[in-house]
Every structure is written in structure tokens, then in C-alpha cells.
């Protein structure tokens, strides 16, 4: 694909462009023309024409479009095109909009430019219609002044009409003076150099400008001037006829009409998955043609459970603007299934056991329905991205080993959908509160204000989808041994908005909070700036969710650097020196400590599990900052796959563990146990287990230090009362780290008599309080380790998740190996 710039020969460039236009078919098989007087729109599909004609209806209200504020349209700002050094600059006018980080693309692959490109006023699918509404641009850049990269329009979003060449705005920035080097490593190296250089500014990071489109994704528009048709992205579910309003029902509650729709889908899924029938016998008993057990109260309870315990882990659905009766049915069913699974997993009476079966029936079949939806192609629809992420969360943490493996397989597909385009690429001024103020009452009617608010919520939700996907990607890479498919340099977004803005119940409350933040100069921090600051020990002033995202970014940097070295050993004669490896690890370890200190100073050290009845905080997949902090120290030194093979696992990451695999793991673990850094990880494993297991419901509250323990003290933990599904597995990781170290050292067991829970608590407290694990202290590590493994194994056995029960069996095997 030719890339033209100001230095390109103009006649030759125009000839090539004319040749490109000649390849576009002028006469499709059938053209559908709008018959409304005064409208000459043409379409290549009947469904596109039908959807377009709905716009002419007086009752039509586009839910997914930002309102056209007169003030914004009237004022036009001159925006200069970013060009390479020494190139002429062309200027054109557009409606005033934000050019800040909120106007960035959702994800940038290594083939994009680090500098945002200006957004033009032309909006698809009809360039001519938009031009007529906004008026002709004062100066369009000619082909001789700016680069152009001709893209074939996607039939779903663009009408096949030829546009005269002078009116076509540039689709790509100028790269004429850039020497392309088709080497993806260049992007990573430049990013790493910028990241670890404390003096380099964000403007100096130009790593991705030196490589071409590595994915060749035409839908990865990278903040250029293509505006997608938001209506077509949500056409199926959000344009369905509204249910008959026999009784007024709040949007927060599921209506009877919606319940019947859920039951119809459930019947379809039951026919596809009859193997789950024995697990839902009482739920599907019919009475008068209905399923009374699956009543409105049951579904509302499941949805309430979702908002209370699932949404804080993945805060990607905006509750204040969410409508259970107008949202896409597939998204609603995934949310209900997650709520049902959460209720079942925390039920100790057995009365809700079949809720888990109900959730499995839905989840086992719904992925296909989501992936075959029209909105599941680039640019991905918001509800599809939300549904796929929630679906992956369920499959990874709440269900069977088979579902867990399925989630891992489809994880990369979800990320590819995010990379290959987004419905949020377009005008951003009306969806970015830190860059453009929310409309006041005088800016328009209350309906305009609410439409603007809903549009902002959709934009913010997609940003949060990206960050939640990034956090799950790195956390699961560390805890399950999967590959981390996302890299920090891909994300060019501001951190999510403050929880106050996210949870504002009305547009008026939102506007007031937004005004207050502006008055005090509070702005969102870009992710990469925050990551760089945290890496160099500087405080990043943001909310708890933003801080957890920053830590996930640090973890991702460590994972990619570690695995780059392991790949280099196999593919290159040169291996990184020990000094180089220890250098970046020291920087990361210090960054972990600075992050935790900053978090404790800003939020507090006592991030204990949520008190029943109180709302949970939106911290991301892992609730506790202390757990994430200790996990960071452990994961940088301990490979969980090696630990599990060492513990006798027969199957891992979908394949059988051979005798040779086990022998190699044993050799690696012996070498690992002799490394000084390993003891650092073991101590953090003790600190993590102490933080979670030791019950301080006595006279003294838990603090961030490990001082003398109050009396009485005991060990208390139950999977049934756990609001964070990741925490039991992280505890398994920590216990396996301690056992692997003790086993590799070959310290003989002292065969001490079984101890009480209070003795296990003191055992944990003793080692958690150490700053250094000496040889003398290491000889006492197995004093109460068998009892600790028994305790954890018994607790994990109570989980409904199959992978947790597998972890329980593995700990019991470790305990037997110690005692034998």
C-alpha cells in the first residue's frame, strides 16, 4: 500500500491514487436508494437502508450518538497536522474538540505513531451528509501537502459512493521521511529505553513510529479521521422493539418481558447442552408452561450480586446508565450468570447449589452467540467487548478445567478484537470530561445532557474494558503460567476516571463533580506517564483502581523482560549478563516497594476483606493491594509452572507432563533454591499468607507491620466468604513457593506433633516479620508447614471451582511428600 507525503512526486502520486480509485467497483450488484424526499443516500445492503430510514422517523432517538451542541459546532479551532521534522505544515478547521489523551485510540499496536493525529469533521457512513450539516471546510489539505493512505471502506459502515479526491481528508500522518525498519524488537527496545530513562519525556517516546503496520489491520485507525457508525455497532439488540409497557418497571429491575426473553434463550442453551440437566433439575421444573424457580426475584438477586461482588473486580459496566430492560440480552445473561455463580460459590447451605449449574448452562453456549453477532467484528461493539471479558472471567475463575482452558484459548481473540478497532474512535470532545467541560443546563435540554452523559459513559466503559483486559492478561500470566499477550506500550489511554464520576447517579451530579475537579485542577493521568513515574519511584496521584492498573503495568514490564531473556537464551548466542538482569529487577523491586508505600499513605494499609453489607471498592481483578504487592515480589522470582511440575502435576497448560519435564524441573528448582533472591520471594510468600490467613478479630486491629500478635489469635479463612476469586489461587501460589523451597533444600522434617491453629498463626507471623531469611531461619521453615498445607488444602476443597479443587489436591500431595 503506497504511502505518500509532501516529498513525493505529485504527478506520480496522483496517478497512483487514480489507479487505486479505478479498482473500486462502480456498479455493485444492487443499489438500495432511500426514497425519502430530499435524501439521496445509497446503500449496498437492504438492512443498512432499513436502519437508515429509521432516522427519518420523528420518534427515532440514537442512543449511541453524542448530541450536536450548537456551541461546539459554531466554534472551529485550527488544528495543525503533525508532520515530521522539516516537512511543511497544513492547517484545516474542524469543530472544537479535545486533542488530549481522551481522543487516543483504545489500543495501539507497534505499527502506529506515538503522536495523535487530528480528527476531522467528516463522519461516516455519509461524508456528503456530514459536510452539508457542518458546512464546507475552509481549507482541506491537498494531496501534495499531506500524506494519504487509501483504505478500502468496510461495507457495513460506509456507503459505496465515490468522493472527489480534493475533498478526501488524509487518512494517515506523513511517514515519508521515516526509514522503515521491519523489526518489532525495535519498538520494544525504544519503549524500554524510554521507560527506564528517568530523564526522557513522553514526547521523546517515538518507538512505534519506526515500524510499519505489523498486523496490517485496516480497522486499527489509531485516532485518525475515520468515524465509525455507532448505530451499526449496536444495531441488533439496541434497536429491537421496546417491550410493551403494561406495568411501569424501573430500569434497574428486570421486567417480566425481559425475564421471558432470558427463559427463551435458556431453552435454546439447554437443548445445546443437555449434559447440564441433572444439575438444574429443580430450577427447570415447569408449572403451567412457566419455570417458577427462575422468577423475577431470582434474576434480580443474581443481578444485585453481580453489582455487589463481580463489578468491583471488573468495573466495566456503568451501573447508573445501565438498563436491564434495554441492554443487549447477551450481556444481561452473562451478568446474571456471573451473579448466580457468585451466589452459589459463597453458599454454605446448599440451597443455591443449582445456581452454579444454571450459570454453566448459560456460559457454555453463549460465547458462540456473542462471537457470531454483527458487533463482534472490528470495530468491536462495546457490549461485545464487555460480554467477552466477563465471560472470560467466569470461565477462568468460577467453572471447570475445560472452561478454564477454553478461556485461555479465546483470550487472544478478545485482545485482537480490541486491537483491530474500536467504536470509540471518533470525535472525543463530548466524551472526555477532563478535556471538555460537561454541558451546563444552558447548553441544551435535559435529554441532551443525559445523551451526552450516556455517550461519555460508553467511552469510559471501553477504556475500562481495555485496562481490565490488560490486568487480567498479566495477572493470569503470572498466576497460571499463561503467556502475557498485551504489552504496556500498546495502551495510549488516560487512567480511568475517578470513582466519584464513575458512580455519579445523574447527569447533574456528574456535572457538579466534574466542575469541582476542574476547579481544583484535578486531571486524569495518562497510563504510560504514570507507569514511567512509578518505575522511577515517583508517586502517581490517582484513585485505587488507577494505582492497581499502574502495578499491573509494572508486573507486565517485569514479565516481558524476564521472558525476553529466556527466549534470547534459545535463539541468540549472546545472553544478557547477570548484571543486566539484576539491574532491571532491582529497579522493579524498588518500584514495587515505592508503589505500596504510596498506596498505603493515600488509601490506608488495612485493605482487609470487605465487611458484609458494605459496598466493595473497585480495585480490579485482585481486590487487595497487599496481595498484589506480595504477588509481584513472588512472581518476579518464582515460576508457578515449575513449582507445579516439581510438586508432581501430571497435566499442565493443557498437556501431559513427561518424565523428562519433571526431571528438568527438579534440576531447575535445585538451582533456584540456592539463589539469594529466592529467599526474598519466600519471605513475601509468608507475608502474603499472614496478611490473608491470620484472624485479628481480637482486641487489636491489623496493621501493616508484623509486630507482636494480640491474644487470642488464630488462623481463619474460608473460600465461601471470599469476595475475590483470585485470592485463593494466589495463596496456593505462595504456599507452593514455600514448599518448593523447603523441598529443594532437602531440610529433614522434625515430625512435630500436630499444632493448633494459633501455632500456625505464630509460625506465619514469625517468618513474615523477618527482613532476611538466614540459613539458620531456613532450617525451621518446615516446623508447621505440613499443618499449613493441610489447612489451605481443606479450605480450597470447599471451592466450587475445579481448578481450586485441583490446587487442594496438589497441596495435599505436597504435604504427603514432606511427611514421607
Is-contact 739 816, C-beta < 8 A? no
Residues 300-336: tens digit of each pLDDT: 999 999 999 999 999 999 999 999 999 999 999 999 9
Per-residue pLDDT, 627? 95
pLDDT for 105 = 34
Amino acid 163: pLDDT: 36
pLDDT of residue 577: 59
Return the higher-pLDDT residue of 489 and 195: 489
Tens digit of each residue's pLDDT (9 = 90 or more) over 248-281: 445 678 999 999 999 999 999 999 989 999 998 8
* Cα–Cα dist 203/180, whole Å: 20
Write b or e for each residue in 341-376: b if 16 or more Cβ atoms lie within 10 A of its Cβ, otherwise e: bbbbbbeeeeebebbbbbbbbbbbbbbebbbebebb
| Tens digits of residue pLDDT in 730-772 | 999 999 999 999 999 987 766 666 667 788 888 999 999 999 9
pLDDT at site 523: 84
Please report the pLDDT score of residue 630 as a whole number.
97
**Nine-digit cell at 526?**
495518562
Using left for φ > 0, alpha for ψ between -120 and 50, and beta otherwise, residue 250 falls in beta
Averaged pLDDT for residues 633-660: 92
Which has the closest alpha carbon to 307: 334, 329, 326, 335? 335
Q: Is the pLDDT of residue 713 over 70?
A: no
Confidence of residue 39 (pLDDT cuts 50, 70, 90): confident
Indicate the pLDDT class of residue 728, thresholds 50, 70 and 90.
very high
Residue-wise pLDDT tens digits, 455-465: 999 999 999 99
Number of H helices, E strands in the chain: 28, 8
Q: Burial of 798 by CB count in 10 Å (0-12 exposed, 13-18 middle, 19+ buried)? A: middle
**Model confidence at 288: pLDDT above 60:** yes
Q: What is the pLDDT of residue 31?
A: 80
Name which of 538, 530, 541, 555 is nearest 627 in CA terms: 555
- Map grid coordinates 503506497 to a residue: 2
C-beta separation of 73 from 134 below 8 A:
yes
- Please name the residues in contact with 758: beta carbons below 8 A apart, sequence gap of 6 or more: 712, 713, 714, 715
What is the spatial distance between Cα 132 and Cα 307, in angstroms, rounded to a whole number? 44
The mean of the pLDDT values for the chain is 73
- C-alpha 238/C-alpha 454 separation (Å) is 14
Q: Note the pLDDT of residue 200.
A: 66
Report the pLDDT value the prediction gives residue 566, as an integer from 0 to 100.
61
> Where do the structural domains in the chain lie, given as residue ranges?
10-30+61-184+219-227, 251-361+386-424, 428-618, 637-819
So what's the pLDDT on residue 803?
Answer: 94
When mean pLDDT is compared across 18-32, 408-422, 671-685, 775-789, the lowest value belongs to 18-32
How much is the pLDDT for 199?
66
Tell me the per-residue pLDDT of 583-608, one tens digit each, with 9 for 90 and over: 888 999 999 999 999 999 988 766 55
652-678, pLDDT tens digit by residue?
877 899 999 999 999 999 999 999 899
Whether 155 and 44 have beta carbons less than 8 Å apart is answered as yes
pTM of the entire structure? 0.70
135, pLDDT greater than 90: no
Q: Between 242 and 739, name the one with better pLDDT.
A: 739
Residues 6+ apart with CB under 8 A from 314: 389, 390, 393, 468, 620, 621
Amino acid at each position: 500500500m503506497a504511502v505518500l507525503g509532501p516529498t513525493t512526486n505529485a504527478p506520480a502520486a496522483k496517478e497512483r491514487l487514480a489507479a487505486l480509485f479505478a479498482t473500486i467497483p462502480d456498479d455493485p450488484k444492487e443499489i438500495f436508494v432511500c426514497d425519502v424526499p430530499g435524501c439521496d443516500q445509497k446503500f449496498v445492503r437492504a438492512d443498512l437502508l432499513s436502519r437508515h430510514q429509521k432516522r427519518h422517523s420523528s420518534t427515532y432517538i440514537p442512543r449511541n450518538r453524542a448530541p450536536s451542541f450548537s456551541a461546539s459546532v459554531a466554534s472551529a479551532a485550527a488544528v495543525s497536522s503533525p508532520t515530521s521534522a522539516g516537512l511543511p505544515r497544513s492547517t484545516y478547521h474542524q469543530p472544537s474538540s479535545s486533542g488530549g489523551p481522551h481522543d487516543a485510540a483504545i489500543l495501539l499496536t507497534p505499527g502506529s505513531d506515538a503522536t495523535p493525529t487530528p480528527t476531522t469533521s467528516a463522519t461516516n457512513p455519509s461524508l456528503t451528509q456530514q459536510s452539508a450539516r457542518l458546512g464546507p471546510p475552509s481549507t482541506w489539505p491537498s494531496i501534495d501537502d499531506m500524506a494519504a493512505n487509501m483504505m478500502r471502506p468496510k461495507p457495513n459502515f460506509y456507503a459505496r459512493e465515490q468522493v472527489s479526491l480534493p475533498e478526501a481528508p488524509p487518512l494517515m500522518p506523513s511517514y515519508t521521511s521515516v526509514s522503515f525498519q521491519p523489526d518489532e524488537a525495535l519498538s520494544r527496545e525504544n519503549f524500554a529505553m524510554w521507560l527506564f530513562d528517568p530523564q526522557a519525556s513522553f514526547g521523546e517516546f517515538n518507538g512505534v513510529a519506526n515500524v510499519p503496520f505489523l498486523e496490517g489491520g485496516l480497522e486499527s485507525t489509531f485516532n485518525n479521521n475515520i468515524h465509525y457508525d455507532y448505530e451499526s455497532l449496536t444495531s441488533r439488540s439496541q434497536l429491537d422493539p421496546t417491550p410493551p409497557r403494561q406495568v411501569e418497571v424501573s430500569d434497574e429491575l428486570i421486567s417480566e418481558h425481559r425475564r421471558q426473553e432470558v427463559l427463551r434463550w435458556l431453552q435454546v442453551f439447554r437443548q445445546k447442552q443437555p449434559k447440564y440437566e441433572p444439575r438444574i433439575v429443580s430450577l427447570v421444573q415447569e408449572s403451567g408452561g412457566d419455570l417458577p424457580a427462575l422468577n423475577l426475584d431470582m434474576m434480580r438477586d443474581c443481578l444485585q450480586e453481580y453489582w455487589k461482588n463481580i463489578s468491583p473486580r471488573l468495573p466495566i459496566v456503568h451501573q447508573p446508565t445501565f438498563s436491564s430492560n434495554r441492554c443487549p440480552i447477551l450481556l444481561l445473561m452473562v451478568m446474571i450468570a456471573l451473579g448466580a455463580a457468585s451466589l452459589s460459590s459463597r453458599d454454605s447451605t446448599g440451597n443455591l447449589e443449582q445456581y452454579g449449574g444454571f450459570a454453566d448452562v448459560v456460559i457454555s453456549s453463549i460465547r458462540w452467540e456473542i462471537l457470531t453477532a454483527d458487533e463482534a467484528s472490528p470495530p468491536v461493539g462495546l457490549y461485545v467487548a464487555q460480554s467477552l471479558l466477563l465471560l472470560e472471567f467466569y470461565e477462568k475463575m468460577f467453572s471447570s478445567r475445560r472452561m478454564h482452558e477454553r478461556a485461555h484459548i479465546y483470550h487472544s481473540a478478545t485482545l485482537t478484537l480490541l486491537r483491530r478497532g474500536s467504536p470509540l474512535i471518533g470525535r472525543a470532545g463530548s466524551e472526555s470530561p477532563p478535556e471538555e467541560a460537561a454541558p451546563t443546563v444552558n447548553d441544551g435540554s435535559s435529554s441532551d445532557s443525559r445523551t451526552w452523559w450516556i455517550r461519555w459513559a460508553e467511552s469510559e466503559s471501553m477504556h475500562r474494558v481495555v485496562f481490565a483486559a490488560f490486568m487480567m492478561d498479566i495477572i493470569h500470566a503470572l498466576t497460571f503460567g499463561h503467556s502475557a499477550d498485551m504489552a504496556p506500550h500498546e495502551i495510549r489511554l488516560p487512567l480511568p476516571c475517578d470513582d466519584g464520576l464513575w458512580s455519579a447517579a445523574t447527569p447533574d451530579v456528574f456535572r457538579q463533580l466534574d466542575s469541582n475537579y476542574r476547579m481544583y485542577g484535578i486531571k486524569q493521568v495518562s497510563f504510560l506517564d504514570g507507569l514511567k513515574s512509578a518505575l522511577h519511584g515517583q508517586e502517581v496521584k490517582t484513585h485505587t483502581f488507577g494505582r492497581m492498573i499502574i502495578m499491573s503495568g509494572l508486573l507486565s514490564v517485569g514479565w516481558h523482560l524476564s521472558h525476553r531473556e529466556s527466549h534470547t537464551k534459545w535463539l541468540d548466542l549472546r545472553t544478557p549478563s547477570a548484571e543486566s538482569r539484576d539491574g532491571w529487577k532491582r529497579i522493579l523491586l524498588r518500584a514495587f516497594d515505592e508503589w505500596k508505600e504510596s498506596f498505603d499513605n493515600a488509601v490506608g494499609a488495612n485493605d482487609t476483606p470487605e465487611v458484609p453489607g458494605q459496598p466493595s471498592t473497585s480495585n480490579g481483578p485482585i481486590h487487595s493491594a497487599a496481595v498484589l504487592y506480595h504477588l509481584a515480589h513472588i512472581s518476579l522470582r518464582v515460576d508457578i509452572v515449575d513449582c507445579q511440575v516439581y510438586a508432581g502435576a501430571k497435566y499442565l497448560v493443557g498437556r501431559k507432563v513427561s518424565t523428562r519435564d519433571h526431571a528438568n524441573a527438579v534440576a531447575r528448582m535445585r538451582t533456584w533454591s540456592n539463589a539469594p533472591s529466592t529467599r526474598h520471594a519466600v519471605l513475601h510468600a509468608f507475608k502474603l499468607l499472614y496478611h490473608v490467613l491470620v484472624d485479628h478479630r481480637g482486641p487489636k486491629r491489623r496493621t501493616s507491620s508484623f509486630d507482636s500478635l494480640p491474644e487470642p489469635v488464630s488462623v481463619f479463612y474460608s473460600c465461601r466468604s471470599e469476595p475475590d476469586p483470585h485470592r485463593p489461587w494466589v495463596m496456593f501460589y505462595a504456599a507452593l513457593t514455600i514448599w518448593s523451597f523447603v523441598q529443594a533444600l532437602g531440610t529433614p522434617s522434625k515430625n512435630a506433633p500436630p499444632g493448633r491453629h494459633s501455632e500456625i498463626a505464630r509460625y506465619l507471623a514469625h517468618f513474615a516479620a523477618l527482613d532476611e531469611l538466614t540459613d539458620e531461619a531456613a532450617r525451621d521453615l518446615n516446623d508447621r508447614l505440613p499443618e499449613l498445607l493441610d489447612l489451605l488444602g481443606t479450605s480450597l476443597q470447599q471451592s466450587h471451582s475445579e481448578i481450586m479443587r485441583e490446587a487442594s489436591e496438589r497441596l495435599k500431595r505436597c504435604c504427603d511428600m514432606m511427611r514421607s
